[in-house]
Amino acid sequence: MFTKATLMIVCVLAFAFLTLVISVSAQGAVIGDLVALYDFNGNTNDTSGNAYDASLIGGAAVSGDSLGYSSNAGDRSLDLGSGATEYAKVTGAIKLATATTDNKMAVSFWQYNIGNGAGGNVTNSAFRVVSTTASGRGFQAHTPWSDGTLYFDHNGATAPVTRLTKTGLGTSLIDGWHHIALQVDNGTKEIWIDGAKVSSQASGAGPIPTFTNEIRIGADLDGGGNWFRGRIDEFAVWSDTLTQTQIESLAGGTSTADLMNIPEPATMSLLALGGLAILKRRRL
């Protein structure tokens, strides 16, 4: 039989755990929703903990020091140069079934688009999460295309069901770091640039497709078709959507790893001890 002291400890621990769960859930996407993360700080490893490491294709490389989105020492990025067939490729049993089942998904990243090297846009694709349908066009974006329009496609490329656009960008995304977040939540679909929602639809977006086990960072077609010119950093794939606060935080410079930081077990113990202390004082 439990003693009163044991029951008290169990209750405090349960309360602390529920408080943590409610707090984290209120923040939108949580650590378990992070499917893959590439910070490119020295390698192309997946730092989400799921070990979906990427391979460099063609002339793609990890950049030199301080060439990541923060420009800080130690921050690097994926350098895709200005030529063809330069991208990073991820293969494996990528866990995107939850995104398909829940019909929720997001991709966020930083990009430094050099365009044609003379201040103009080119046809490019920042990424493609490959699907088993719609000719593989599962979740992808041109950021922007040569016409200065950002095209965000999922499960096809037919507006407004599977394509959302942001027109009139001109050359505003050339020659500078910009944060991009793209997401679908059942019928809603959104494009965020530098922490601002620039295009959205409240309903009518098609379902998230079933995916293969491949992600291409810096190109949409295998072999480098519509490749991205420049650098990409902090590329993250989520099986849920991000809140406005989370996107603003990422665009403000918070790393994805820091955004997903949750209390360690030691913190839980401190919460429990604090609760016990409060109960003891009340009894006195």
Q: Is 86 helix (H, G, I), strand (E, B) or coil?
A: coil
Least trusted range by pLDDT, from 37-41, 53-57, 76-80, 260-264: 260-264
Taking residues 29-34, what's their average pLDDT? Answer: 87
Per-residue model confidence (pLDDT) at position 155: 96
Which one-letter amino acid corresponds to residue 163? R
Taking residues 137-163, what's their average pLDDT? Answer: 97
Residue 178 lies in a domain: yes
Residue 134 lies in a domain: yes
Per-residue model confidence (pLDDT) at position 109: 98
Residue 284 lies in a domain: no
Nearest alpha carbon to residue 185 among 254, 103, 256, 247: 103
Residue 66 lies in a domain: yes
Per-residue model confidence (pLDDT) at position 195: 98
Helix residue ranges per DSSP H, 89-177:
97-102
Question: 116-135: per-residue pLDDT in tens?
Answer: 989 999 999 999 999 999 99
pLDDT at 113 over 90: yes
Q: Is residue 138 within 8 Å of residue 209, measured between CB atoms?
A: yes
Residue 1 lies in a domain: no
Domain of 224?
Answer: 30-257
Residue 273 lies in a domain: no
Q: Which residues pair with 139 in a beta bridge?
A: 129, 154
Question: 171-204: per-residue pLDDT in tens?
Answer: 999 999 999 999 999 999 999 999 999 999 999 9
Tokens 């209390």: give the residue.
Answer: 263
Q: Higher confidence at residue 275 or residue 192?
A: 192
pLDDT at 74 over 80: yes
In sequence order, which residues have a C-beta less than 8 Å from that of residue 51 and are 6 or more positions away?
45, 92
Distance of CA 26 to the CA centre of its chain: 18
Task: Report residue 73: phi and psi, to 5°.
Answer: -60, 135
CATH (domain of 230)? 2.60.120.200
Taking residues 90-97, what's their average pLDDT? Answer: 93
Residue 223 lies in a domain: yes
Q: Is residue 222 within 8 Å of residue 67, measured between CB atoms?
A: no
Helix residue ranges per DSSP H, the chain:
4-25, 97-102, 244-251, 256-259, 265-283
Q: Is 88 helix (H, G, I), strand (E, B) or coil?
A: strand
Task: Report residue 93: phi and psi, to 5°.
Answer: -80, 65
Q: How many structural domains compose the chain?
A: 1
Taking residues 95-101, what's their average pLDDT? Answer: 96
Residue 280 lies in a domain: no
In DSSP notation, 235-283 reads EEEESSPBPHHHHHHHHTT--HHHHT----HHHHHHHHHHHHHHHHHHH
